[in-house]
Amino acid sequence: MKLLYFLEQIRIPVLDKLMLLVTSLGEETAFLVIALALFWCIHKYMGYYILSVGFVGTLANQFMKLWFRIPRPWILDEHFTIVEQAREAASGYSFPSGHTQCAVGTLCGIAYTAKQKIVRIVCIALAVLVPISRMYLGVHTPLDVGAASLMALALVFAFQPLFGKNSHKRMPILFGVMILLSVAYLIFIECYPFPADLDAHNYASGLKSGYTLFGSLLGLIVVYIVDEKWLHFTTKAVWWVQILKVVGGLALVLCIKSGTKELLNSLMGENIGRAARYFLIVVFAGIVWPSTFRWFSKLGNKE
């Protein structure tokens, strides 16, 4: 708390806005944009790598939040204040930091595999700034961001060899293990006798994450099988075509995400509907949209 009080004293409006911008790199939308851009435009196995680190990291993070149930800093110390704009995205338990886990896993995963020095430097710098931003905003303690950073780095280093030479032989096993982990997490969150004072919002968030990841992982293994056997999509294209691929694909993904929510929830219930929705999102992003890439490549070659 001494460190958090020091950061509280140096807050100024300009720095508040900068830190709010930096901390957004740990949100789901940023992760989705980065992972899909890598998958569609750079290298599909790099995309699988970043997605895997992110999915397993989220499962571990949500499990630890519900297991330890550590309150936020301003609840631990009623005299401490936070940057109010950060409050909405900081509900539920504090330990470990989900934003830090996502940002460090994603950015350090890119830095670890990138060949360009400038890319590595930028990614590492941002991976350091995100945990700092969480403490500056007052929504996490050093323990929260430290544990999340260590977990993310452990996954980055542990998973990278799995996506190297002959990785296609290990992928089905890896995805199968990840699905089993998501099932184990769902059993935990649905059956564990949590105490009566459990934070309802954090439980709801953990439940949503569990079904989201279960549906996403089922979709991911379908995507891998279809691409390996039949699709074999290419990521290569000229720069402006790559931009079209990313912008068009993300727009359609967001349409599916929002447009199918009410229908699937009414047909299947909120939790199963969520799993089905994210299954469709991943299948679209990994099979349907990449099916157009041959056309996109021809479009770029006409220039």
* DSSP at 80: -
Q: Over range 213-239, report the average pLDDT.
A: 92
HSE (side-chain half, CA atoms, 13 Å) at 273: 15
Which residue carries 């542990």 as its tokens? 158
Residue 296 phi/psi, 5° resolution?
Answer: -60, -40
| pLDDT of res. 301 | 65
Rg, C-alpha atoms of the chain? 20
* pLDDT at residue 29 is higher than 90: no
pLDDT of residue 205: 85
Query: CA 276, CA 280: separation in Å to the nearest integer?
Result: 6
Q: Which amino acid is at 5?
A: Y
Segment 286-292 shows an average pLDDT of 94
* pLDDT tops 70 at residue 267: yes
**pLDDT tops 50 at residue 303:** no
- The pTM (predicted TM-score) of the whole model is 0.90
pLDDT on residue 17: 94
Question: What average pLDDT is seen over the chain?
Answer: 91
- Residue 281: band (very low, low, confident or very high) from pLDDT cuts 50, 70, 90: very high
